[in-house]
Amino acid sequence: MKFLVCISNVPDTTTKIAFTPDNKEFNKAGVQFVINPWDEYALTRAIELKEAAGSGTVTVLNVGEADTEPNIRKALAIGADDAIRVNAAPKDAFFVAQQIAAIAKEGAYDVILMGKESIDYNGFQVHGMVGELLGIPTVAPAMKLDLSGNTATLEREIEGGKEVIRVNTPFVASCQQPMCEPRIPNMRGIMTARTKPLKVVPATTDTPRTQVAEYALPPKKQGVKLIPAESAGDLIKLLRNEAKVI
Amino acid sequence: MSVLVVVECDKGEVKKSSLEVATYGAQVAAQLGTTATAIAVGEAIEANLAKLGEQGISKVLYDNEPRLKDFVNNAYTKLIATAAQQEDSKVIVLANSNIGASVGSRLSVRLQAALATNVVELPKTDGGQFTVKRGAFSGKAFSDVVLSGERKIIAVKKNSIEAQHEAGKTAEVTTFSAQLADADFADAPSQVVMQDQAGGILLPEAERVVSGGRGMKGPENWGLIEDLAKALGAATACSKPVSDVDWRPHHEHVGQTGITVSPNLYIACGISGAIQHLAGVNSSKVIVVINKDPEAPFFKAADYGIVGDVFDVLPKLTAAVKELS
Ligand SMILES: Cc1cc2nc3c(=O)[nH]c(=O)nc-3n(C[C@H](O)[C@H](O)[C@H](O)COP(=O)(O)OP(=O)(O)OC[C@H]3O[C@@H](n4cnc5c(N)ncnc54)[C@H](O)[C@@H]3O)c2cc1C
Ligand SMILES: Cc1cc2nc3c(=O)[nH]c(=O)nc-3n(C[C@H](O)[C@H](O)[C@H](O)COP(=O)(O)OP(=O)(O)OC[C@H]3O[C@@H](n4cnc5c(N)ncnc54)[C@H](O)[C@@H]3O)c2cc1C
């Protein structure tokens, strides 16, 4: 089995979000970037499935500029075999999907795993686009993934429940908990990651379909109105008469 | 050229988020000087589809194919693409649900459309540009996104548009066939398992949510959360550590790495308000925090707060709600 795991490079979950003065770009100054948390499920599950089969390869793929390499190396340290970076600023989801689809086709990958969504742009769309570009099924978001020969059994979360889906390779799945316990790099992994192959390839030239015109922060809250615990019931009256939400 | 609205149905009922989507679609149609047509997916009943007139829908297309009752990504994509071609729709609106966004992303490739998910407001269509506002950075920001090209697909975030109800207006329901073949159902689910929802209210669709954190001390105390939720007609939720240790099921975990909710009322009980938790709930209209620690960061994001012990406060709140009705 050839696994392709797509990882996105995102601001750490504790980041206070700020923008450049013209509000046109995310302000990266002082921000720590991490592997998108959902993508860690994809990566760990791919490694687990490869280990269980006793054969196969796990390739990580990122569409990004050189500053994403520390996190690509981290994915190699966690246990991926090799990596590809498509050298381009990820202009929009469709652009990213086109790059991933091109790599997936060229490398004839059997299982293409992603995260449920990026925690920065919250698109929930690259996986569907890649599936459609390749003409193969996408299962999003998957909570469980097992492989038996060329057949995968997945559990997909839907609002209010889950579906069990069987698909044959090749397919795309986007992963979320409780699929596995994401692994963290160990010392040996960090050492071997340094020498694992990381190939940098140019982007295919394609025009994005969306463009961010401006960012904005949510309006500030007015401040909390405290109700003494002794008269907790008053809160309910405020929710009905003042906030009008019950 | 009509605006096409994808309406999700469940056990005959149109989902609340789809009533919002229908309203959104009808308003976009008005902006563009055209009408809104809906295409129904899931288990639908004609009488309920006709009522989509109340949201401003003129016509509803409905394919009777029984296998469309469950979500089948390929079949839904083909169905909607066929409807969009028939209606010559330049704008397609769906819910930003797992179903809506999954289908929307496939459709955007098939129809060569620009896609925006997580959209929170009606588009701005002046000056020849089509701009939508969407949530980004897990609820910590918004972005205005310009959609280019002839076709646009918009996935509308739940509870960001209020569904209109113009009583008495009905939509014309027309049967429609996308001529789906067996191959279109290759990724059909072999099994569908629905959860037991507390009081039958789905968390992602809920208007009110009562949520518990580690301050609840253990799963045996969740009756307090459930009682208040039941009295309020609310769904129940929890923080990540609570689902990590299996006090509550994973589908109740809200936050940056769980589900995002935007109810009218979110009541947090014994939750500290870590930034990753806030990311999943901070677009709630009104936030209430109950925490014994006055320094808990959640109070900064709250509208109302009680500094107190959940074991003392929750029963009082439940009693007060019961007194109201
Ligand atoms: C400098 C800069 C400018 C940008 N400008 C715009 C803009 O103008 N308009 C706009 O729409 N977006 C813009 N983006 C967002 C960027 O294009 C996103 O990375 C892209 O939209 C995918 O994010 P998503 O939330 O849609 O992905 P999702 O669909 O939420 O991601 C799902 C999964 O896809 C995979 N994935 C996502 N991105 C990548 C990646 N880069 N490499 C490998 N795998 C990936 C991951 O597995 C992820 O979990 C910009 C980003 C940067 C850094
Ligand atoms: C990458 C990453 C992703 C994460 N994603 C999420 C996420 O999606 N969702 C999420 O929730 N968390 C997430 N977290 C975890 C997050 O950082 C916090 O650890 C978590 O939200 C804390 O949960 P809690 O508030 O229930 O527990 P605690 O932080 O332990 O808070 C318990 C609170 O209860 C109060 N309390 C205790 N006893 C009582 C009482 N008797 N009465 C009233 N109050 C009481 C305490 O004062 C305290 O404020 C993530 C973390 C990381 C690193």
Say which residues have a Cβ less than 8 Å from residue B112's Cβ, sequence separation at least 6. B149, B150, B151
pLDDT of B45 above 70:
yes
> Could you tell me if residue B191 is inside a domain?
no
pLDDT of A97 above 70:
yes
- The string of DSSP codes covering B161-183 is SPPP--TT--PEEEE------GG
Residues B147 and B264 occupy one common structural domain: no
B199 neighbourhood in chain A, CB within 8 Å:
none
> Is residue B280 in contact with ligand 2, taking CB distance under 6 Å?
yes
pLDDT of B142 above 80:
yes
Ligand 1 mean position, distance from CA A63 (Å): 9
Return the pLDDT at B127: 83
CB contact under 8 A, B276 and A17: no
> Is residue B213 in contact with ligand 2, taking CB distance under 6 Å?
yes
Return the pLDDT at A115: 98
CA-nearest residue, atom 36 of ligand 1: A8
Q: Check: CB of residue B257 under 8 Å from CB of residue B263.
A: no
Residues B245 and B176 occupy one common structural domain: no
- Position in ligand 1 atom list of the atom nearest CA A211: 8
Choose the closest CB to A215 out of B141, B188, B304: B141
Choose the closest CB to B250 out of A13, A119, A178: A178
Structural domains of chain B, count: 2
- The complex's ipTM? 0.94
Give the whole-angstrom CA distance, residue B156 versus residue B5: 11
| Average of per-residue pLDDT values in chain B | 94
CA distance B45 to chain A (A): 20
Structural domains of chain A, count: 1
Choose the closest CB to B117 out of A125, A138, A211: A125
> Per-residue b/e over A111-136, b at no fewer than 16 CB within 10 Å?
bbbbbbbbbbbbbbbbbbbbbbbbeb
Overall average pLDDT of the A87-92 stretch: 94
- Name the band, by pLDDT with cuts 50, 70 and 90, for residue B165: very high
> Could you tell me if residue A100 is inside a domain?
yes
Where in the sequence is the domain holding A102, given as residue range(s)? 2-218
Return the pLDDT at B138: 87
Q: Check: CB of residue A76 under 8 Å from CB of residue A83.
A: yes
pLDDT of B293 above 60:
yes
Overall average pLDDT of the B137-162 stretch: 94
Give the whole-angstrom CA distance, residue A53 versus residue A50: 5
Please name the residues between 51 and 80 in chain A that touch chain B, using a CB distance below 8 Å.
none
pLDDT of B172 above 70:
yes
Residues B108 and B209 occupy one common structural domain: no
The token duo for B176 is 């429609």
> Could you tell me if residue B142 is inside a domain?
yes
Give the whole-angstrom CA distance, residue B6 versus residue B60: 10
> Could you tell me if residue B277 is inside a domain?
yes
Return the pLDDT at A110: 98
Give the distance, in angstroms, between the CA of residue B220 and the centroid of all CA atoms in the same chain: 30
* Beta bridge pairs of residue A3: A58, A111
CB contact under 8 A, B102 and A128: yes
CB contact under 8 A, A216 and B141: yes
Overall average pLDDT of the A4-9 stretch: 98
Return the pLDDT at A40: 98
> Is residue B116 in contact with ligand 2, taking CB distance under 6 Å?
no
Return the pLDDT at B202: 84
Choose the closest CB to A163 out of B71, B116, B286: B71
pLDDT of B207 above 60:
yes
User: Model's pTM, two decimal places?
Assistant: 0.94
Q: Write the CATH number for B266.
A: 3.40.50.1220
> Is residue A71 in contact with ligand 1, taking CB distance under 6 Å?
no
Residues B171 and B204 occupy one common structural domain: no
Q: What percentage of chain A exceeds 90 in pLDDT?
A: 92
Give the whole-angstrom CA distance, residue B155 versus residue A107: 32
pLDDT of B197 above 70:
no
Residues B26 and B153 occupy one common structural domain: yes
> Could you tell me if residue B193 is inside a domain?
no
Mutate to test the pocket of ligand 2, among B292, B298, B299 (most ligand atoms within 8 A of CB): B292
> Minimum mean pLDDT among A64-73, B64-73, B291-300: which range?
B64-73
pLDDT of A243 above 90:
yes
Residues B178 and B204 occupy one common structural domain: no
- Name the band, by pLDDT with cuts 50, 70 and 90, for residue A221: confident
Q: Check: CB of residue B131 under 8 Å from CB of residue B116.
A: no
CB contact under 8 A, B208 and A132: no
Return the pLDDT at B196: 67
Check CB contact of A34 with chain B, cutoff 8 Å: no
Say which residues have a Cβ less than 8 Å from residue A121's Cβ, sequence separation at least 6. A93, B136, B137
Return the pLDDT at B205: 85
> Is residue A119 in contact with ligand 1, taking CB distance under 6 Å?
no
Of the candidates B185, B212, B238, which is a domain's last residue?
B185
Q: Write the CATH number for B8.
A: 3.40.50.620
> Could you tell me if residue A235 is inside a domain?
no
Q: What percentage of chain A exceeds 70 in pLDDT?
A: 100
Total Cβ atoms within 10 A of residue A244: 11
Of the candidates B140, B159, B185, which is a domain's last residue?
B185
Check CB contact of B92 with chain A, cutoff 8 Å: no
Residues B231 and B320 occupy one common structural domain: yes
Return the pLDDT at B38: 98
Residue B164: half-sphere exposure toward Cβ, Cα within 13 Å: 15
pLDDT of B198 above 60:
no
Where in the sequence is the domain holding B219, given as residue range(s)? 198-324
Q: Is A107 exposed, middle or buried (0-12, 13-18, 19+ CB in 10 A)?
A: middle
Cα distances (angstroms) measured from residue B285 to each of A60, B159, B208, B241? 40, 9, 10, 24
Q: Check: CB of residue A186 under 8 Å from CB of residue B264.
A: no
**What letter represents residue A21's amino acid?**
P
Overall average pLDDT of the A131-159 stretch: 95
Residues B214 and B237 occupy one common structural domain: yes
Give the distance, in angstroms, between the CA of residue A40 and the centroid of all CA atoms in the same chain: 8
Overall average pLDDT of the A89-112 stretch: 96
Return the pLDDT at A142: 97
Please name the residues between 24 and 63 in chain B that touch chain A, using a CB distance below 8 Å.
none
Of the candidates B185, B209, B231, which is a domain's last residue?
B185
pLDDT of B36 above 70:
yes
pLDDT of B199 above 70:
no
Q: Check: CB of residue A101 under 8 Å from CB of residue A130.
A: yes
Q: Check: CB of residue A69 under 8 Å from CB of residue A7.
A: no
B103 neighbourhood in chain A, CB within 8 Å:
128
Give the whole-angstrom CA distance, residue A163 versus residue A156: 5
Ligand 1 mean position, distance from CA B264 (Å): 30
> Is residue A172 in contact with ligand 1, taking CB distance under 6 Å?
no
Residues B157 and B282 occupy one common structural domain: no
> Could you tell me if residue A105 is inside a domain?
yes
* A111-123 pLDDT per residue, tens: 999 999 999 999 9
Residues B228 and B310 occupy one common structural domain: yes
Q: Write the CATH number for A81.
A: 3.40.50.620
Overall average pLDDT of the A16-22 stretch: 94
Overall average pLDDT of the B145-166 stretch: 95
Residues B45 and B106 occupy one common structural domain: yes
> Could you tell me if residue B140 is inside a domain?
yes
CA distance B54 to chain A (A): 23
Return the pLDDT at B254: 95
**What is the length of chain A?**
246
* A184-199 pLDDT per residue, tens: 999 999 999 999 999 9
Return the pLDDT at B204: 86
> Could you tell me if residue A238 is inside a domain?
no
Check CB contact of B101 with chain A, cutoff 8 Å: yes
Residues B251 and B123 occupy one common structural domain: no
